[in-house]
Amino acid sequence: MTTPSHASGHPFPEMQDLTLEPLASRPSLVTTTDFCQVPPPVPGFGAFVDALPDIYAGTHFKQLVERIVAAKLAGRPVVMAMGAHVLKVGLAPLVIDLMERGIVTDVALNSAGAIHDYEISTVGFTSENVDTQLPAGKFGFADETGRALAAAAKRGAHPEEGAPKGFGRALGRELIDAKAPHLNLSVPAAAVRLGLGVTCHPAIGADIVHMHPACDGADLGAAALADFHHVCGRVADLDGGVWMNVGCAVMLPEVFLKAVSVAINLGHDLANMTTANLDMIRQYRAETNVVRRPPGTGISLIGQHELLLPLLRMAVLAKLEEAQA
């Protein structure tokens, strides 16, 4: 076994010789033509919610709707922490609609979610076929994606004067400044436009953009740490609010638990916080770190994102309308 030379100052200098390809030339599995719509509240939908059985998921669904509506009416935070699949199945319009309505006050993404958001916003498609791309040595080597996320990390680590540090906000600003063709489908850009919280939490080496020669670990670390600090501040203010982990199995549940620990260590009361995990299957880390361990009330709902989230949105809008009537 040979050890790569460090003579160039790079622990693996061959990384600089990677073959990159234009994003537009890459076959992708998801396009914006398949994304969800966001219809107005359906008259009488509140009666449908009331008619659900008060057993198991029926009870939990109603409870989550009630807690989100109560948080909105009380001016408390509602945070949606999203795995990449939420965006990949075309739900960005739904998330942005809830942000525009002032229901979702903050969003947190893992790095895969940021990647999908960037590609959706700039070219209108995302999600490469790993089964075919990997054997061809092409998996993860779309040039623009890696270059743009590296630029966002740099901007997040070294923001313009007066702007806060942070990866998620910087990605939103990059997309806005670039006038991305599908900017209306970018969650970070919407958060920046609306003045809402947005963070991104990468795992170095776990995301395709970290293979790009432009990726700088110092920038990535500084931008990500700033976003962790942002999350700690938001979680410290979550008493009476809601944290929803939607479709992230490990990264965001771990970030959340550490932020909860920081908040409690600093003396913040989270006894009236509501936490919820929404996913297609029951995942140990999310169920443990989001639903069971934190203070407050934990709720778990299992279902396909592309069905469960539209139902949740419509139920919240219906119950909010009833409460404000």
Output the tens digit of pLDDT for each of the chain's 325 residues: 344 444 445 677 777 777 778 787 777 887 889 999 999 999 999 999 999 999 999 999 999 999 999 999 999 999 999 999 999 999 999 999 999 999 999 999 999 999 999 999 999 978 778 888 889 887 877 788 889 999 999 999 999 988 899 999 999 999 999 999 999 999 999 999 999 999 999 999 999 888 888 889 999 999 999 999 999 999 999 999 999 999 999 999 999 999 999 999 999 999 999 999 999 999 999 999 999 999 999 999 999 999 999 999 999 999 999 999 8
Residue 279 in contact with residue 249, Cβ under 8 Å?
yes
Give residue 261's pLDDT: 98
| Distance separating alpha carbons of residues 66 and 150, to the nearest angstrom | 40
- First-to-last C-alpha distance (Å) of the chain: 72
Residue showing tokens 């920038």: 219
Give residue 314's pLDDT: 98
Element (H, E) at 201: strand 197-201
Closest to 100 measured CA to CA, from 185, 227, 200: 185
3-state secondary structure of 297: strand
| Distance separating alpha carbons of residues 236 and 270, to the nearest angstrom | 8
Closest to 110 measured CA to CA, from 218, 210, 237, 212: 210
Closest to 98 measured CA to CA, from 38, 184, 46, 173: 38
pTM (predicted TM-score) = 0.92
User: Exposed, middle or buried, 293 (CB in 10 Å: 0-12/13-18/19+)?
Assistant: middle
